[in-house]
């Protein structure tokens, strides 16, 4: 557990530090409220607790913690426990401390026994907080990943597309979006079975992914339909790139349980129209191009400028 201790009295800070180090905690220090904010900003990623004196010159503990809570709120950070240390045991001061954003309030001189016990309780909160952060990260990843192929799902793909659209609006580069759909995929499932269909989906994604250019992204929009973001790509290159992806799928059959499965794909691709174009309109145009590819024979690429 990493603890920030803030106290303007050097001897108090040193005693506290020695006690915490002896208990096995890592310590960073600050000598006043302003320094506390600076240390918080520098260590906020792995800080577990702040122990902060109330009466300090320039900026007192209450003000410093209010500022830290404001920063945390703005940055949407998880709650960080704060314990005030004060010579005053007045009920009003304790109340002010909690209102300023503190979680506990200890009266100086500190009893080493009480401090050790409080540190144990804080360790429990720190462990819980870590688990919460980890499971939030895992949940976020699950919520944005397609369970079968491991690529971005529709929601994540649209977020990435929106980001590329903003970047393109700002820097004026080229951007295109392709929608790719496997042909007669129902027949693949009906003829070879659903597991074989799954193998095809995974293999198709793997072939495209290992050939994607650095800035490009593939996502699964649903079923057997995929989206591809083609960043920094000029209109005249699009047909060649999409046809390369089409050949990667159609030229080699997919093997499932020693059975060869022929697969082809149709692709609709379009360029971003810039400033006023919405994401929905951009994707819709790629979809319309795909529809034409399907209607006019499949296993082909159609480009709508
Ligand atoms: N194996 C497997 N099949 C899926 C999955 N998601 C969707 N499908 C199947 O994909 C098929 C899509 O069929 P359709 O929408 O009729 O399209 P299609 O047969 O590909 O025909 P065209 O698109 O017109 O060429 C359906 O049979 C779905 O059950 C999946 O995760 N795994």
Query: 249-282: per-residue pLDDT in tens?
Result: 999 999 999 999 999 999 999 999 988 899 999 9
Residue 274 belongs to domain spanning: 154-304
186 lines ligand 1 (CB under 6 A): yes
Q: 224 an active-site residue? A: yes
Residues 202 and 241 in one domain: yes
Rounded distance, CA 278 to CA 86, Å? Answer: 56
Measured in Å, residue 264 CA sits from the centre of ligand 1 at 13
Domain closes at, from 143, 166, 183: 143
Count of domains forming the chain? 2
184 lines ligand 1 (CB under 6 A): yes
**What pTM did the predictor assign?**
0.71
81 belongs to a structural domain: yes
Q: What CATH number is associated with residue 256?
A: 3.30.70.270
- For residue 187, the ligand 1 atom closest to its alpha carbon is 19
Residues 133 and 177 in one domain: no
Q: For the chain, how many residues are written?
A: 305
Rounded distance, CA 64 to CA 34, Å? Answer: 7
Element housing 64 (H / E) = helix 61-74
Query: 213-250: per-residue pLDDT in tens?
Result: 888 999 999 999 999 999 988 888 999 999 999 999 99
pLDDT of amino acid 106: 94
148 belongs to a structural domain: no
133 belongs to a structural domain: yes
End-to-end CA distance of the chain: 57
Nearest to 177 by CA among 273, 63, 80, 53: 273
Structure token pair of residue 229 = 């973001």
Q: Is residue 185 very low, low, confident or very high in pLDDT (cuts 50, 70, 90)?
A: very high
Q: Is 265 left (phi over 0), alpha (psi -120 to 50) or beta?
A: beta
pLDDT of amino acid 128: 87
Q: What CATH number is associated with residue 118?
A: 3.40.50.2300
195 belongs to a structural domain: yes
Contact 2, 28 (CB under 8 A): yes
223 lines ligand 1 (CB under 6 A): yes
Buried b (16+ CB within 10 A) or exposed e, 237-276: ebeebbeebbebbeeeebebeeeebebbbbbbbbbbeeee
Query: 23-74: per-residue pLDDT in tens?
Result: 999 999 999 999 999 999 999 888 999 999 999 988 999 999 999 999 999 9
Measured in Å, residue 225 CA sits from the centre of ligand 1 at 9
Which is catalytic among the residues 164, 224, 275, 295?
Answer: 224
206 belongs to a structural domain: yes
């Amino acid at each position: 557990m990493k603890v920030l201790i803030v106290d303007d009295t050097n001897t108090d800070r040193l005693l506290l530090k020695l006690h915490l180090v002896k208990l096995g905690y890592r310590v960073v220090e600050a000598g006043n409220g302003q320094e506390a904010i600076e240390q918080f900003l520098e260590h906020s990623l792995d800080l577990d607790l702040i122990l902060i004196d109330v009466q300090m010159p320039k900026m007192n503990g209450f003000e410093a913690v209010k500022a830290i809570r404001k920063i945390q709120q703005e940055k949407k950070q998880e709650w960080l426990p704060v314990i005030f240390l004060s010579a005053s045991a007045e009920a009003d001061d304790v109340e002010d401390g909690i209102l300023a954003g503190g979680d506990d309030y200890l009266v100086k001189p500190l009893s080493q026994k009480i401090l050790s016990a409080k540190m144990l309780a804080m360790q429990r909160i720190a462990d819980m907080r870590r688990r919460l952060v980890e499971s939030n990260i895992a949940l976020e990843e699950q919520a944005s990943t397609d369970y079968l192929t491991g690529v971005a799902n529709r929601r994540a793909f649209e977020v990435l597309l929106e980001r590329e659209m903003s970047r393109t609006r700002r820097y004026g580069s080229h951007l295109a979006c392709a929608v790719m759909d496997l042909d007669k995929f129902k027949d693949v499932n009906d003829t070879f079975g659903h597991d074989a269909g799954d193998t095809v989906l995974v293999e198709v994604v793997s072939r495209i992914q290992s050939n994607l250019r650095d800035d490009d992204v593939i996502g699964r929009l649903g079923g057997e339909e995929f989206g591809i973001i083609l960043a920094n790509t000029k209109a005249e290159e699009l047909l060649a790139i999409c046809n390369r992806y089409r050949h990667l799928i159609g030229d080699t059959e997919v093997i499932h349980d020693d059975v060869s499965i022929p697969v082809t794909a149709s692709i609709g691709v379009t360029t971003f129209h810039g400033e006023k174009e919405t994401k929905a309109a951009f994707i819709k145009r790629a979809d319309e191009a795909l529809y034409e590819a399907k209607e006019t024979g499949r296993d082909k690429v159609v480009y709508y400028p």
